[in-house]
Amino acid sequence: MTSFPAWVIRKEDGKNAAILEQVADSMLDDLDTTVRVLFSGINYKDALALHGRPGVVRRTPLIAGIDLVGEVVASTHSRWAAGDIVTLNGAGLGEDLNGGLAGLAHVKGDDLIAVPDTFTPTQAAAIGTAGFTAALSLLALERNGLEPECGPVLVTGAGGGVGSIAIALLSRAGYEVVAATGRADALGGRLIALGAAEVIDRASLESPGRPLGTQRWSGVIDSVGGTILANALASLNAGGVAATCGLAAGADLPTTVLPFILRGITLAGIDSVHTAPALRHDAWELLANDLDPQLVDAVTRIVDLADAQDAAAELLEGRGTGRTVVAIAPEH
Ligand SMILES: NC(=O)c1ccc[n+]([C@@H]2O[C@H](COP(=O)([O-])OP(=O)(O)OC[C@H]3O[C@@H](n4cnc5c(N)ncnc54)[C@H](OP(=O)(O)O)[C@@H]3O)[C@@H](O)[C@H]2O)c1
């Protein structure tokens, strides 16, 4: 029997609590591929889970962590062999399957992606679900007809994980990016370095607006929801498209049908958890081709497994920036 450290979510006095403990491999799910985890990360969902908030972990006890990067130890899946360096985002990890904030994981080979040669394992972990979601969002915009010639693209939650990588991807693909952030003074320079052409204060989008505003953007990647997304939709150009992937500001969407029926706009939903293997592959191919590894490094910090919960608190307080990688086996 092997034992390893893991952040385990347990039910205590009717509430979830996260505990860093040594667990046995008998706790893991019965799945086809065993991975020695090198890195995980802190996404918004991980932050919720590590602080006992509801809505992410669907059974207890469960190991937290919706991402992992690691080395295959053994696999009965036809595509994987010992020594392969792989990554997995979502697919139930840390929600209804034991997750990546642990030394060892059992996962489904179908959902794994080989870490592209262009990225180190640390960079792949920094990309994580946030970067994967940014890539899925860009693919969705382009599936709905967006091209760089159409005009500026708004990225909300720009200082966060999804927003930061969305800016870098859009800019590299030739789009003029407008970054909306609540921390323009602190993060403006960083967002410009990522590729934003303009940084705007999110306060300008936070007050309830008219159902139809001045047409300002051809596309939107939104990770915040609420009034900000409603205002972004009201300012989409005719025929424009928005990708909605998050709810950092709220789960409500106080909008009307007017921009849809008078301007023919499209709202595309992004679900990174239940993404089919072929689309997972497309998103990681986009990241491998179009995401500059140095830009990833510039927005990454690395913390030890023991510090994951403290790092998560910053995300919950809206103070997180870029991406936080959790080193499970620091020697790698
Ligand atoms: N659909 C999916 O599959 C999927 C996948 C990944 C993430 N998500 C969701 O996407 C969201 C962002 O994830 P993330 O990992 O990028 O989180 P994150 O790193 O915490 O970034 C969220 C950003 O949103 C902005 N923000 C925070 N609180 C806000 C508020 N009250 N009002 C307006 N803006 C606020 C902040 O950016 P500024 O300070 O720059 O304004 C913050 O950095 C989360 O809701 C997450 O659950 C969904």
Please state, as a whole number, how many other Cβ atoms lie within 10 Å of the Cβ of residue 214.
8
Instruction: Please give the angle made by the CA atoms of 120, 124 and 125, to the nearest 5 degrees.
Output: 115
Separation CA 110–CA 75 (nearest Å)? 11
Residue 318: predicted pLDDT: 83
All structural domains of the chain: 3-115+299-327 (3.90.180.10), 129-269 (3.40.50.720)
Instruction: Report how far ligand 1's centroid is from the alpha carbon of 224 (Å).
Output: 5
Once rounded to an integer, what is the mean pLDDT over residues 90-114? 97
Token couple for 260: 């849809």
Answer yes or no: are the C-beta atoms of 27 and 63 closer than 8 Å: yes
Residue whose CA is closest, atom 31 of ligand 1? Answer: 249
Separation CA 299–CA 159 (nearest Å)? 10
Q: Is the CB of 183 under 6 A from ligand 1?
A: yes
Separation CA 224–CA 159 (nearest Å)? 11
Q: Is the CB of 173 under 6 A from ligand 1?
A: no
329 confidence band (pLDDT: 50, 70, 90): low
Is the pLDDT reported for residue 17 higher than 70? Answer: yes
User: Which position has the token pair 């010992």?
Assistant: 82
Work out which ligand 1 atom sits closest to the CA atom of 271: 3
Answer yes or no: are the C-beta atoms of 162 and 136 closer than 8 Å: no
Work out which ligand 1 atom sits closest to the CA atom of 163: 16
Q: Smallest Cα–Cα separation from 165: which of 283, 295, 40, 271?
A: 295
pLDDT tens-digit profile of 18-49? 999 999 999 999 999 999 999 999 999 999 99
Answer yes or no: are the C-beta atoms of 139 and 286 closer than 8 Å: yes
Residue whose CA is closest, atom 25 of ligand 1? Answer: 157
Is the pLDDT reported for residue 279 higher than 90? Answer: yes
Q: Which of 43, 127, 154, 221 to probe ligand 1 with, by most ligand atoms within 8 A of CB?
A: 43
Is the pLDDT reported for residue 331 higher than 50? Answer: no
Instruction: Report how far ligand 1's centroid is from the alpha carbon of 191 (Å).
Output: 15
Separation CA 314–CA 312 (nearest Å)? 5
Is the pLDDT reported for residue 260 higher than 90? Answer: yes
Residue whose CA is closest, atom 18 of ligand 1? Answer: 160
Residue 320: predicted pLDDT: 83
**Residue 61: is the preceding peptide bond cis (ω within 30°)?**
yes
User: Which position has the token pair 């009717």?
Assistant: 14
pLDDT tens-digit profile of 111-158? 999 999 999 999 999 999 999 999 999 999 999 999 999 999 999 999
Q: Is the CB of 45 under 6 A from ligand 1?
A: yes
Instruction: Report how far ligand 1's centroid is from the alpha carbon of 313 (Å).
Output: 13
Look over the chain and give the mean of its residue pLDDT values, rounded to a whole number.
96
Residue whose CA is closest, atom 1 of ligand 1? Answer: 245
Is the pLDDT reported for residue 332 higher than 60? Answer: no
